[in-house]
Amino acid sequence: MFTLKDIADFTTVFVSLFIIMDPIGNLPFFLLFTEGHPRHDQIRIAAISSVAAACILIVFVVAGDFILNFFGISIPAFQIAGGFIFFLYALQMLQLLPTGMKTSSQEEEESLAKENVALVPIATPLLAGPGAITAVMVWNHSGTNPLNTWLIMAAVILVCGIIFVTFYFGSYIRKHLGLSGIRVISRIMGLLLAVLAVQFMVNGFMNLKTL
């Protein structure tokens, strides 16, 4: 049923989305926002945030074409803008830009005072932020494979499942990796995201020639 191209497409989307959503890099935020919560509350927040992020992205996968057509936005323009957003995120992950691009310090302080932070800011904008939303919309619109939408949805669900597992074992991961280990992994993800960002922009400029 699935061809090698389907598997390759799925792998590309999955790996790219995994890098963009950055479970390890967002783990310190999850631990910060859930610090002091009972264990069962931490698990509940991890589950709600993962499911909510998946639902948000799936909505944009399904409604992406309608949104682009409604506002008259071309895919090349979206690819270039998306690549620029990815590049800014990558610079932040590489510690070349100050933090606060996904959430401001005021939002973080306000979130610490909330009982339930699963939806905001964890599900969005930390997980299902502008970068991830842009990515799934571009991939779905540019795909010629009729299974493309289902492959993207499957990738979204799988990545969000990994995010839940990462958050579930968050304390264990932090204990064994430490903040230094988490930062190293995050910087590696940032480097990969920078390459992905450049490729997005290159594809956008190349597609401009076909308009």
pLDDT, greater one: 131 or 143: 131
User: Is the pLDDT assigned to residue 102 strictly greater than 80?
Assistant: no
Question: What's the pTM?
Answer: 0.86
Q: Which residues, other chains included, contact 74 with Cβ-Cβ below 8 Å and sequence gap of 6+?
A: 68, 211
Write down the mean pLDDT value for the chain. 85
| pLDDT given at position 7 | 85
User: Is the pLDDT assigned to residue 155 strictly greater than 90?
Assistant: yes
User: Is the pLDDT assigned to residue 112 strictly greater than 90?
Assistant: no
| pLDDT given at position 43 | 96
What are the contacts of 79-82 at 24+ separation with CB within 8 A? 79/138, 79/142, 79/200, 79/201, 79/203, 79/204, 79/207, 80/200, 80/201, 80/204, 80/205, 81/134, 82/131, 82/134, 82/135, 82/138, 82/200, 82/204
| Sign, Cα dihedral of 160, 49, 112, 85 | positive
What ranges in the chain are assigned the alpha helix state H?
4-21, 23-33, 39-71, 75-93, 105-112, 130-142, 148-168, 170-208
pLDDT, greater one: 209 or 119: 119
| pLDDT given at position 143 | 53
| pLDDT given at position 127 | 94
Distance of alpha carbon 164 from alpha carbon 51, whole angstroms: 9
